[in-house]
Structure 1
């Protein structure tokens, strides 16, 4: 039997201080979710294949792992990892 891992794209994530939604600022992300488990800076390709400098934040919320991608100072993508 093999284990599968996958990520689900989300439009919003609830934290203890409110919601983080696609398009929210990086500052709001940190206000709502606090300090991340880890931060990684890398080139991220948008839906059209164009490269952008991005920041990847990993958060644990209620025992679940979320990867949040920020491009240009705004939340670009929220993934729930399972």
Structure 2
């Protein structure tokens, strides 16, 4: 029998550091490597956030590499 559906590749997952909203009424969270602050506030309700972990699909954040290369360039220029 012929099946036209494309075979879905399994996306690898890993335990990822996240920030979770402390408010009971809010389900907001964000990946740690996508936050700009050391201790961010929730973008939905403006409550403080706490650090935690969650099993999520792997995503490469290119801004981490840009921050690292900028820091190296600044350090070598001095």
Higher strand share: 1
TM-score by length of 1: 0.20
